[in-house]
Structure 1
Amino acid sequence: MDSARTTFIATLMVIVTGSLWGFYWMPVRQIADLGLTGAWGTLAVVGAATGLLIPLGWHGRRALVRSHPVALLSVALGGFAFLLYSVGFLYGRVAIIVILFFLTPVWSTLIGRYVMGWPITRFRLVALVVGVLGLGIMLGADGTLPVPRGLGDWLGLTSGVFWAIATVGIRVKATAGPGESAFLFAGGAFVGGLLLAPFLEPFPDMSVVANPAALVLWVGLTGGLWWAFSMAGLMWAATKLDPARVGILLMAEVLIASVTAAVIAGETLTTFEVVGSVLVVLAGIFELMPDRSVA
């Protein structure tokens, strides 16, 4: 496959992934409505995805064995970060959860500078300031102290922090291919879900589930489409495109999630929350600017 065609397909894959994840909150809430509440629904989803990805994990088992432990832990932590992100949709407003997750550039800049000792560019310094300002405005929109208020907010914020830690480890140590990485990603989410789910909700009484067939269908569809197909595709595309391009293209998720939540679930944002959200998105764009000058 020639370079131009590969770039086009990879770009399309990233756009599709970002757009698809903009709708992700809908099956998550549908599964909860059907009877799998709390983290149990997402646990079932990532369990299905892990099962579907076993052939890819087995095929790339040698690459996983050769991988550095930090790389393996980082990919698995990335999966757990997305599990927290997923569960957050059940306990908070969609747009707020998405924006809190996309604060990742703030945390990755701080980790890179103070943990890894990487130089901080001017654009990344601007991203840090703008992102923190956006966070403060968004969380303090009602005139109270700008801190996360509910479990959903905390899950969204924590998922972004964990994803930032994971991406730094992946950037430094990862060598495995996209297929086995997607398997490990889903597996990390599954193990993390096993540990988290009992603390949020008791195990659902499956005997009262009114439509088990619909529940199984939604779990399989969500695990297969969002966690297996899109993640494997994204990890392949990320090896073909510049990281800045990937990051910008994925921001389609912010717009689609905000619009669909407003139209379908009636979750509108206040003026201050919109301003804070825009600043967070701008922080992501600034963080991805190819500026080599050190602040």
Structure 2
Amino acid sequence: MATAIVAFTGALWGVYWLPVRSLGEMGLPGAWGTVAITTAAALLLFPLAIRRRGQFARSDRTALASIALGGAAFALYSIAFMYGRVAIIILLYFLTPVWSTLIGRYVMGWQTSRLRVLAILVGLAGLSIMLSADAQLPLPRGAGEWMALFAGFLWSVGTTGMRAKSDLDPGPAAFVFAIGAAVTALTLAPFLEPLRSGPYGGGFAAPLGLAIATGGVWWGLSTASLMWAAVRLEPARVGILLMTEVVVGAVSAAVLAAEQLAPLELVGGALVLCAGVLEVWPVRRGAPHQPS
């Protein structure tokens, strides 16, 4: 069940860029659309958090920080869609198996199999090829690509902490997740682009409705489901299952936004996906031993 939920969540997030960019076109540029979405999600989840407020007092502080950090990662990822190509943003974010393995090995002290070492090398090779496709240094270009890369790292840190410490129910966890995202987006928004002061072309009803719907479906329902599943799976396994988002995102961007990848970018992206496959392979065989 946890595996199926994470895979479906990835597919759903593969079209998340559509409402984000739509809000930008409606007058919420830069991070302001993400502010609206995450604030709506937090408000929708607030009644559930109040009913189970006792869990917050009993919960490990590291777990709460890890969940909020995961929300911050998703906020950066959401904002990145406003500043880069969809497929590249998704692929940069989905280097999470590389970061998860490194964190698990050197921070948590978990054993690392040879296949996981190979996954790191393949993932980093894919990153280098993808970012040097136009004969430039293999570094992220533009704010969107840097945010996506950093978001993937933060998500790996967050999921590692969630798995090790979290005992929150999915609803309260999703609330903390949304709060972490909303604070991050609101902090960044004024530095990226100013908020429009004039009236919106179609009034406030359309962006408000879209923000509430997006916050409810993506940040509320799907995130609560993901919180439930993430603590039952290895961080690296979560990363590979969420890669359904890569396929859905790349196809939807090509069809709906005419965003095409260059041949070398496709090669690099394929290597990133291969790294994810190598990452999860020993998990299925039960090779690594990790503390419970």
TM over 0.5: yes
User: 2:255 aligns to what?
Assistant: 263
Name the residue aligned to 2:68: 76
Deviation of 1:244 (Å): 6.7
Pick from 146, 156, 180: which aligns with 1:164? 156
Aligned counterparts of 1:136 and 1:27: Cα–Cα separation in 2: 30
| TM-score, normalised by the number of residues in structure 2 | 0.92
CA distance in 1, matches of 2:233, 2:185: 31
Q: CA–CA distance in 1 between the matches of 2:109 and 2:3?
A: 31
Supply the distance in 1 between the matched residues of 2:128 and 2:238 (Cα, whole angstroms).
27
**Aligned counterpart, 1:186:** 178
Q: Contact 1:31–1:37 (CA<8 Å) still a contact in 2?
A: yes
Q: Confirm whether residue 211 of structure 1 aligns to residue 217 of structure 2.
A: no
Q: How has the CA–CA distance of structure 1 residues 16 and 119 changed in structure 2, closer, same or farther, with 3 Å as cutoff?
A: closer
Whole-Å separation in 2 of the counterparts to 1:278 and 1:77? 28
Letter in 1 for 2:40: A
Any idea what the Cα deviations from partners look like across 1:50-103, whole Å, max 9, x if unmatched? 001112212332222111111111100100100000000000000000000000
Query: Does residue 292 of structure 1 match 2:287?
Result: yes
Q: Distance in 1 between matches of 2:54 and 2:149?
A: 35
CA distance in structure 2 between the aligned counterparts of 1:82 and 1:238, rounded to whole angstroms: 14
Q: Against the structure 1 CA distance between its residues 243 and 140, is the aligned structure 2 distance closer, same or farther, given a 3 Å change threshold? A: closer
Q: Aligned pair 1:55/2:55, yes or no?
A: no
TM normalised by structure 1 equals: 0.91
**Whole-Å separation in 2 of the counterparts to 1:222 and 1:88:** 17
Give yes or no for the alignment of 1:29 onto 2:7.
no
CA distance in 1: counterparts of 2:122 and 2:128, whole angstroms: 10
Contact 1:35 1:206 survives alignment (8 Å): no
> Identity rate of aligned residues, in percent?
53
Unaligned runs of 5+ in 2: none
Whether the 8 Å CA contact 1:59–1:180 is kept in 2: the answer is no
Aligned to 2:213: 221
Amino acid at match of 2:80: G
Structure 2 distance, partners of 1:252, 1:15, is: 6
| Mapped pair 1:152 → 2:144 | yes
Considering only aligned residues, what root-mean-square deviation do their CA atoms show, in Å? 1.9
| Distance change >3 Å, CA 35–CA 187, structure 1 → 2 | same
1:112 to 83, 97, 104: 104
Post-superposition CA distance 1:180-207 (Å, at most 9, x none): 1011000110111121111111122242
Distance in 1 between the 2:13 and 2:142 partners?
23
Contact map agreement 2:163 2:234 (CA 8 A) in 1: no
Contact 2:237 2:279 in 1 (8 A): no
Aligned residues, how many? 286
Task: Give the distance between the partners of 1:79 and 1:210, measured in 2 at CA.
Answer: 30
Q: Which residue of 2 aligns with 1:67?
A: 59
Structure 1 distance, partners of 2:269, 2:222, is 25
Q: Which amino acid aligns with 1:34?
A: M
Summarize the Cα distance change of 1:12–1:63 in structure 2 as closer, same or farther, 3 Å threshold: same
The amino acid of 1:72's aligned partner reads: L
Number of the residue aligned with 2:12: 20
